[in-house]
Amino acid sequence: MSEKEVQELERVTICFAGDSGDGMQLTGSQFTNTTAGIGNDLNTLPDYPAEIRAPIGTTFGVSGFQIQFSSTDVHTPGDSPDVLIAMNPAALKVNLPNLKHNGIIIINTDSFQSRNLSLAGLESNPLEDGSLEAYQVFPVNVTELTREALKDMDLTVKIKDRCKNFFALGMTYWMFSRPMETTEHWLKEKFKNKDDLIKANTLALKAGFSYALSTEIFTTAYKVPKAAKKAGQYRNITGNQGIAFGLITAAKKAGRELFLGSYPITPASDILHELSKHRNFDVKTFQAEDEIAGVGAALGAVYAGSLGVTTTSGPGIALKSEFMGLAVMTELPLVIINIQRGGPSTGLPTKTEQSDLLQAFYGRNGESPIPIIAAAGPADCFNAAFEAARIALEFTTPVILLSDGYIANGTEPWLIPDVDKISEIHIKQPPTDEKYLPYKRDPERLSRLHALPGTPGLEHRIGGLEKEDITGNISYDPDNHDKMVRIRAEKIGRVNRFVDDPELVGKDHGDLLILSWGSTYGPILAAVEEVQKQGREVSWCHLRWLNPLPINLSRFIHNFKTVLIPEINLGQLLKIIRAEYLVDATGFNRVRGLPLRTSELLAEIDLILKGLE
């Protein structure tokens, strides 16, 4: 490397792309883990094909993994890559429109054959037709070089070709001054007792690194210095892992077993997979035969005294809605987690969307209010899950936690908290020396005391029929029903007294207020920081609790000429804000299965501010 130039950069965005069988998610994950170990701040976007087995070589079979890493704070996976590693023509075609002008393209030339060009819908070869003149193109026969590196190994050609992603990874490790040790250690753990696979992938990795070091086509390597972050121990974490860890912590702090009743569904299944690894923390996981059985089992576990959780995506929420209504009526602390994805119906199961907010608010029969909290990013999922569980237990109510596919699969560094400094979750137990009244309420929270079945003296009736106030007896009295409906609504309305108000970034009055929720946090934060650098006054409030809405919002929302609400839907929070506050808010809506782009938000902000001049 000493013979070649090493250029220092503040931040870089790389996109790895190829067929779903080319190992791009694995390649991106290894680059991410290595980068996190170096100490860069980062944010990732795994982008899976929407079809399980899309035809090889087609554009709808392309699997991508994008990472932005930096020596300063990173809030998004990047709007436009600086570098594209394209393993076939389809990957190049899909991702080229997003690549920055003069960006770097590393192309596996072995895949640019007439059949693959045809499958990708290309009439000519981009390597020959001049369509790549605006970019720095590095053509590398990755497949052939990988086979050459493994020529002395007694492996089939198919197995050797599966190692080509590690050859490409080796090249990027050299190009961006990354060490190989983290990946070498991972290979030994991943393929334990499979020495041939360990050796083959390690050889391919080192061959890619050596090729980039020695070949004349790569003249420059790049270095991104370590980011300055708050002192502490960090780990790279996905949103689904963060949710799992937050639930385990909440159960421990509440002194309860954790029970997950779930049916596998993209992109929520990883929560089930992660929790199933932690039985040593009194975690029980149940993979049910369907969505209804999953939520039913979770609610039964809650009734028996566990912290009960069910996980799913939008289609599963539709099936779980009757049991969610039962949890409202019985006032039991059930945590319902919705990892949103593109809809309707099966829609885009591997793509992200914020389209289930109205479903969370209103997707049940009768007056059945449920608190709703939304995670802002992968690292925030730990806190959001813990808080959802705390409110469920303290208010004896079901709680909905909203995440989405971008948060669930994306990663970022997470500062591991000091467990001893996390507050205990205190659950009031009904006394056994007096008559038990199931619907006698806490005067502050309006929560009822949850009696565990089988406890002597705490026998009571429970079920889906309307309850008489205080006694819990079945009641058909119209005035009692009106009273209970209002009490249940008021209980949810009081949640905002026991959670933190969201921070208002900027003045409490002015021309423009940006109001947001969920995974739009990162792109909006990046946009607001850029606007502030320009000296322009824009205020921003990111909502954590959506039902009930925060107390402080009513104090300043009317103080702005324009309220802008960016969402990955057609304006669902927009409808709620307009109805609640009678504010003529404006929506910024993109529903492409991808995170919002900071550049587009900046253009919209600029347009609004110029219109107000």
What does the pLDDT look like over 455-510, one tens digit per residue? Answer: 999 998 889 999 999 999 999 999 999 999 999 999 999 999 999 999 999 999 99
Average pLDDT, the chain: 96
Contact 605, 579 (CB under 8 A): no
The model's confidence at residue 392, banded by pLDDT at 50, 70 and 90, is very high
455 vs 470: CA distance, rounded Å:
19
- Reply yes or no on whether the pLDDT at 153 is more than 50: yes
Helix (H, G, I), strand (E, B) or coil at 173: helix
Residue 115 structure tokens: 């059949």
149 vs 159: CA distance, rounded Å:
13
Among the ranges given (26-35, 45-54, 572-581), the one the predictor scored with the smallest mean pLDDT: 45-54
Contact 335, 307 (CB under 8 A): yes
Rounded to an integer, the average pLDDT of 338-367 is: 97
271 vs 337: CA distance, rounded Å:
10
- Reply yes or no on whether the pLDDT at 199 is more than 80: yes
Q: Which residue has the tokens 């007056």?
A: 367
217 vs 215: CA distance, rounded Å:
6
Beta-carbon contacts of 135 under 8 Å, excluding residues fewer than 6 positions away, are: 99, 101, 102, 103, 104, 105
DSSP 212-281: HHH-SS--EEEE-PPP---SS-EEEEEHHHHHHHHHHHHHHHHT--EEEEE---TTTHHHHHHHTT-GGG
Residue 535 structure tokens: 């000296």
Give the helix/strand (H/E) hosting 373. strand 372-374
Domains 235-421 and 504-612 share a fold: yes
> What pLDDT shows up at residue 96?
97
Name which of 486, 221, 533 is nearest 369 in CA terms.
486
What is the domain partition of the chain in residue ranges?
A: 5-223, 235-421, 504-612
Choose between 244 and 20: higher pLDDT.
244
Residue 166 structure tokens: 């590690």
Burial 570-597 (b: 16+ CB within 10 A, else e): ebbbbbbbbeeeebebbbbbbbebbbbb
- Reply yes or no on whether the pLDDT at 449 is more than 70: yes
Percent of the chain with pLDDT over 70: 100
The model's confidence at residue 53, banded by pLDDT at 50, 70 and 90, is confident
Residue 267 structure tokens: 């992109």
Say which CATH architecture domain 504-612 belongs to: 3-Layer(aba) Sandwich (3.40)
Q: 394 — phi, psi (to 5°)?
A: -75, -25
- Reply yes or no on whether the pLDDT at 55 is more than 80: yes
Which CATH number applies to 235-421?
A: 3.40.50.970
Choose between 513 and 454: higher pLDDT.
513
Q: Which residue has the tokens 């056994």?
A: 432
Number of H helices, E strands in the chain: 20, 22
Residue 162 structure tokens: 């599966």
**Predicted TM-score (pTM) of this structure:** 0.95
> What pLDDT shows up at residue 1?
46
89 vs 404: CA distance, rounded Å:
30
Rounded to whole angstroms, what are the CA distances from 177 to 7, 34, 173?
10, 11, 6
Name which of 609, 515, 492, 497 is nearest 561 in CA terms.
609
Angle at 63 between CA 58 and CA 65, to 5 degrees: 150
Angle at 245 between CA 242 and CA 247, to 5 degrees: 110
Burial of 436 (0-12, 13-18, 19+ CB in 10 A): middle
189 vs 348: CA distance, rounded Å:
33
383 vs 376: CA distance, rounded Å:
10
> What pLDDT shows up at residue 203?
98
Contact 26, 34 (CB under 8 A): no
Burial 362-377 (b: 16+ CB within 10 A, else e): ebbeeebbbbbbbbbb
Select 5-223's CATH number: 3.50.50.60, 3.30.450.20, 3.40.190.10, 3.40.920.10: 3.40.920.10
Which residues face 68 on adjacent strands? 13, 43
Name which of 260, 254, 257 is nearest 273 in CA terms.
260
Beta-carbon contacts of 374 under 8 Å, excluding residues fewer than 6 positions away, are: 384, 401, 402, 403, 517, 518, 543, 544, 546
> What pLDDT shows up at residue 3?
65
pLDDT (tens digit per residue) in 525-557: 999 999 999 999 899 999 999 999 999 999 999
Tell me how far apart the terminal alpha carbons of the chain are, to the nearest angstrom. Answer: 53
